[in-house]
Amino acid sequence: MDNKLSVKDLNVEFTTIKGKAKILRDVSFELKEHEMLGFAGESGCGKTMTSMSIIRLIPPPGKITRGSIIFEEKDLAQNSPREMVDIRGKKISIIFQEPLTALNPCYRVSWQLEEILKLHFPDMDKNERRKRTINILKNVGLSDIKKVLNSYPHQLSGGMRQRIVIAMAIICDPQIMIADEPTTALDVTIQAEILSLIKEIQEERKQLSVIFISHDINLLAERCDRIMIMYLGEILEVADSDDIINKPIHPYTRGLIGSTPRVSLSRKQFDFIKGELPSAYTDIEGCSFYNRCTEKDESCRQQKPELIDIGDGGKQHLVRCFKKK
Amino acid sequence: MSNKSRARSELFTRIVKNKKLVISLVMVTILVMLAIFGPMFVPYGYEQMNTGERLAPPNQNNIFGTDHFGRDLFSRVVYGARYSLMISLLVVIFSNIIGITFGVSAGYIGGKFDIFAMRVIDIIFTVPWILIAILVAMSIGRGTQTVIIALSIVYSPQVARVIRGTTLSLKEKEFIEAGKISGEKSLSIIFRYILSNSLGPLIVQSTMVMAYTMLAEAALSYLGYGIAPPTPSWGLLLQDATRYYIKSSYLVYFPGAAIMFAVLSFSFLGDGLRDLLDPKFSPLG
Amino acid sequence: MKQKLIEVKNLKVYFKVKENIFSRVKDVHAVDDVSFTIYKGEKVGLVGESGCGKTTLGRALMGLTGITDGKIYYEGDDVSWLIRKRRLNDLYKKAQFIFQDPYSSLNPRFKIFTILERPLRNFYRMGKEERRAKIIKTAISVGLDEESLEKFPHEFSGGQRQRVVVARALISDPLFLIADEPTSSLDVSVQAKILKLLSDTISRMDLSLLFISHNLAVINQFCDKVIVMYLGKIVEIAGWSELFKNPLHYYTQALINAVPLKDVSVKKIDNVRLEGPLPSVIDPPKGCRLNTRCSLATEFCFEKEPPLLEVKKDHFVACHLYDKK
């Protein structure tokens, strides 16, 4: 089966006065057709930067120094800004954390949606645009659509705004939707609704694959098909959600899951990962998790482990660790 | 490398890379050296007459030439640096005192007091500065103190607004509340929490006031409201030149160039410091 | 016999607000007639979504906001009077506050030593040497070394800064700590360390803690007792395991349901969904605050507000369905 997106050896660097910060180090992964892939990791791991690289919105002074991002047989890393404009919002869309700042406060909802259609489908007539706009708002579970269309963003609740942002992301029927912490700024009960909505959309649209970024691994495990664990710009583990949660292999993954509290009727000791995250400016020869790992030995410091498939029974389970062969 | 020394070398690099900052620092240093040590090395006293032919253009004896009393222009320009800088410094200090008092109390106390205080500031801001200077001169006569008092009042609104701005934005920060629950009294909060975190914009504003003051003092002295002769303020040097500049234009150029040099150096310093103290880079301001 | 430390009776915190130039001044019922007790050594979780009043309640207990009505007792002493009279220094010696954002709750211009010294200088008469010794002792107890005392906040990571915040809260020997989302801005792996620190400190110094959070999983694993708030009112209070085993209030059930990836021991409650938007805090609805969103609401729920009643031992709920009358 062809992959929707194929990233190979992606390297992104930030050059500042402090030196060169390696934000992404040899990141390689595939986004399959019709799947929801979760990016998990803590701050600075590179999950947001990976998605920014895909749509080529890396903030300066960062840039892609190596690698390819193959989408629809073209390398997005080589695309010109003009070519990317055709893709963003239309073929690959993104939703961000804070819906209030994602929407233009000066314009009504109807304008925000129709602008996207005008940009990507310039031949579409006014009636068709209206129809599509109304339809998409129904798709994202909004009622009282006429009222919503006429409202300004600040007149709507956080949950409604995020639904509109999602509507804007799917109105052109994209191939890939990236959701970067879309529920972090929302209340718990709204979060559950938005998560269900995203999952529903992904399941309904056969041509859509979703990349879901979150620091909350429980959240990812509930809805994603596969999860990718990132740390210091590298991918450490990739597997089906169930396997990541129930059979985590990499010491970091285990530490991450162990320190994420879960609602339960029994009390668990709080696990934690000792040590501190090294600076992105340091060049690490061996395993990037070395200074915090409790299962290491000398070879872990000298050589960098490769991402190897140790899955059995046809299920892929990639791990970057010498100890887990 | 420890965190502290890494931060220091970073700071050093940032300074060195900012050309405007480096050039202005050099210029300001020259000015300060001139002001402090210059008068010790000049060939003549500033009121010494007949040092050469009267109204002589630049020559071997008087490198900037002489004025209508035969006073050496070079010596007078160098002395002028001392007066101009000193006056500007005093204006910066006093305008800051007035401005900070109004600004921080308006921001901190808020409410009706804020409205009232800022309207007073607005009034000062809207009255043309020359008018304020004239009013002060009419009350206490002309002179150095007049210039200092008048200009301190004139520039205090800018300081007040900057400080009020920083106070308002800092007031909401949690460390201010944390200070309060640590038992800090209001005065401590104002000085140790608010003002000490407003240094960045304050310093930048002060360099601008230095630049403005030099120009304003020159104008006031030229108009006759400022410093009395024979004290060689640059503005007075320009006033002296008015009668003779058609034939002896150098009488205008040299003091004029000095003023321009000084104003530019502080102006650049302000710009350069503003870049350096960009909020992205803590700890100052 | 458990000793009462904090008693809150009918606390009201209202703020004045004007919706626009033409409207009358109205009251925001941020905290509306709230009563509860905290015992010595207890870790009480205060949970709810945005607008529920939990942060305002925490701040009111600390004297950071004024009190409109009601009483607060610390060890039997009426501190609400102190708060009204702004005689706050006495209150600050009994209770301390841990803020959410470690990046803005420390004065960037103060060395850590100074940050820890200020409360001691302001509250107690101590010799310089004695002060220094206490500062060093407190710093070490939160996991900071003596060298850190000479550094500035920006030289530390988020987790370390939060340790400083905890140290500052402890140094004046309070009886009671209020922590407002103390780990919400931290990475999961760091969160675990800070929670362990808080837990150890509380038991070592026999303190009580009010832990304000929107994160149910953390509350579930960390707190002894849980208070659930909605729109300024307490809807349920129970011991942690009792609350998650038998949540009685519809809102509590909806909250627990919404948490992703719970342990299998925690049952999902069917047919619990919050319909409709959050009502305004300015004009709260008559009767039960949840009436427009609760699918079990009866006519009575629109007329009379349900009182908070103890329906089982140590399990309080404010809902007409459990009110025998």
Which tops the pLDDT comparison, B245 or A26?
A26
B275 in contact with A, Cβ within 8 Å: no
Give the one of C157, C217, C222 whose C-beta lies nearest to A262's C-beta: C217
The whole-angstrom distance between C164's CA and the closest CA on chain B is 12
Which residue in C237, C221, C217 sits closest to C229, CA to CA? C237
Task: Check C256 against A263: CB less than 8 A apart.
Answer: yes
| pLDDT at residue B11 tops 80 | no
Give the one of B178, B196, B283 whose C-beta lies nearest to C105's C-beta: B178
pLDDT band at B283 (very low <50, low <70, confident <90, very high): very low
Indicate yes or no: pTM above 0.90.
no
| pLDDT at residue A38 tops 90 | yes
| pLDDT at residue A20 tops 60 | yes
Task: Check C216 against A262: CB less than 8 A apart.
Answer: no
pLDDT band at B7 (very low <50, low <70, confident <90, very high): low
Query: What is d(CA A97, CA A162) in angstroms, rounded to the nearest whole number?
Result: 9
The whole-angstrom distance between A236's CA and the closest CA on chain C is 16
Q: What sign for the dihedral angle of Cα C263, C268, C272, C276?
A: positive
The whole-angstrom distance between C167's CA and the closest CA on chain B is 12
A19 in contact with B, Cβ within 8 Å: no
Task: Check A261 against C217: CB less than 8 A apart.
Answer: yes
Residues of A in contact with C260 (CB under 8 A): 192, 195, 216, 218-219, 221-223
| pLDDT at residue B92 tops 70 | yes
* SS3 state of residue A265: coil
The mean pLDDT of B182-197, rounded to a whole number, is 92
Query: What is d(CA A3, CA A71) in angstroms, rounded to the nearest whole number?
Result: 9
The mean pLDDT of B93-99, rounded to a whole number, is 95
Residues of C in contact with A214 (CB under 8 A): none
B-facing residues of A in 32-91 (CB < 8 A) are: none
Task: Check C261 against A188: CB less than 8 A apart.
Answer: no
Q: Prior bond to C284 cis, omega within 30?
A: no
The whole-angstrom distance between C42's CA and the closest CA on chain A is 16
The whole-angstrom distance between C206's CA and the closest CA on chain B is 21
Residues of B in contact with A17 (CB under 8 A): 10, 13-14, 17
Task: Check B14 against A17: CB less than 8 A apart.
Answer: yes
Residue-level pLDDT at B61? 81
pLDDT tens track for B217-255: 888 888 888 787 778 888 888 888 888 888 888 888 998
Residues of A in contact with C55 (CB under 8 A): none
Task: Check C188 against A256: CB less than 8 A apart.
Answer: yes
Nearest CA in chain A to B12: A17
Residue-level pLDDT at B235? 82
| pLDDT at residue A191 tops 60 | yes
Task: Check A262 against C244: CB less than 8 A apart.
Answer: no
Nearest CA in chain C to B7: C155
The token pair that represents C173 in the structure block: 């020997």
Task: Check C262 against A219: CB less than 8 A apart.
Answer: no
Q: Chain C: which residues have CB within 8 Å of chain A?
A: 49-50, 157, 159, 187-189, 191-193, 195-196, 199, 214-218, 220-222, 241, 244-245, 254-263, 265-266, 274, 277-278
pLDDT tens track for A45-64: 999 999 999 999 999 888 99
The token pair that represents C122 in the structure block: 């302001």
pLDDT band at B66 (very low <50, low <70, confident <90, very high): confident
CA distances (Å), C95 to each of C174, C196, C314, in order? Answer: 5, 20, 25
The mean pLDDT of A69-91, rounded to a whole number, is 91
Residue-level pLDDT at A257? 92
Task: Check A18 against B14: CB less than 8 A apart.
Answer: no
- A97: number of Cβ within 10 Å: 18
Task: Check C258 against A221: CB less than 8 A apart.
Answer: no
Task: Check C106 against B192: CB less than 8 A apart.
Answer: no
Residue-level pLDDT at A325? 60
Mean pLDDT over the full length of chain A: 90
Task: Check C152 against B183: CB less than 8 A apart.
Answer: no
Q: CB pairs below 8 Å between A and B: how many?
A: 5
Residue-level pLDDT at B285? 30
pLDDT tens track for A104-158: 999 999 999 999 999 999 999 999 999 999 999 999 999 889 999 999 999 998 8
Please list the pLDDT of chain C residue by residue as tens digits (325 residues): 578 899 999 999 999 887 777 878 888 899 999 999 999 999 999 999 988 999 999 999 998 888 999 999 998 888 888 887 777 888 899 999 999 899 899 999 999 999 999 999 999 999 999 999 999 999 999 999 999 999 999 889 888 999 999 999 999 999 999 999 999 888 888 898 999 999 999 999 999 999 999 999 999 999 999 999 999 999 999 999 999 999 999 999 999 999 988 888 888 888 888 877 778 778 777 889 988 888 888 888 888 899 999 999 999 999 998 886 6
Identify the structural domains of chain B with CATH numbers, from first to last. 3-276 (1.10.3720.10)
| pLDDT at residue A270 tops 50 | yes
Contacts of B148 (CB under 8 A, 6+ apart): B87, B90, B91, B94
Contacts of B25 (CB under 8 A, 6+ apart): B269, B272
Residues of A in contact with C216 (CB under 8 A): 188, 263
- A148: number of Cβ within 10 Å: 20
Give the one of A42, A158, A265 whose C-beta lies nearest to C263's C-beta: A265
The whole-angstrom distance between B48's CA and the closest CA on chain A is 54
Residues of C in contact with A42 (CB under 8 A): 187-189
Q: Prior bond to B283 cis, omega within 30?
A: yes
Contacts of C234 (CB under 8 A, 6+ apart): C34, C35, C36, C227, C228, C308, C316, C318
Nearest CA in chain B to C100: B174
Residue-level pLDDT at B281? 46
| pLDDT at residue B35 tops 70 | yes
Residue C7 DSSP code: E
pLDDT tens track for B167-187: 999 988 899 999 999 999 989
The whole-angstrom distance between C116's CA and the closest CA on chain B is 9
Nearest CA in chain A to C191: A259
Provide the CA A321 distance to its chain's centre, in angstroms.
23
Nearest CA in chain B to C123: B183
| Mutation to test the B interface, candidates C55, C91, C97, C107, most B Cβ within 10 Å | C107
Helices and strands (H and E) in chain B: how many: 11, 0
The mean pLDDT of A215-239, rounded to a whole number, is 94
Residue-level pLDDT at B122? 93
Query: What is d(CA A211, CA C195) in angstroms, rounded to the nearest whole number?
Result: 31
SS (H, E, C) B14-71: HHHHCHHHHHHHHHHHHHHHHHHHHHHHCCCCCCCCCCCCCCCCCCCCCCCCECCCCC
Residue-level pLDDT at C325? 60
Give the one of B174, B183, B196 whose C-beta lies nearest to C101's C-beta: B174
Residue-level pLDDT at A208? 94
Task: Check A262 against C262: CB less than 8 A apart.
Answer: yes
Q: Chain A: which residues have CB within 8 Å of chain C?
A: 42-43, 157-158, 187-189, 191-192, 195, 215-219, 221-223, 245, 255-256, 259-268, 270-273, 276-277
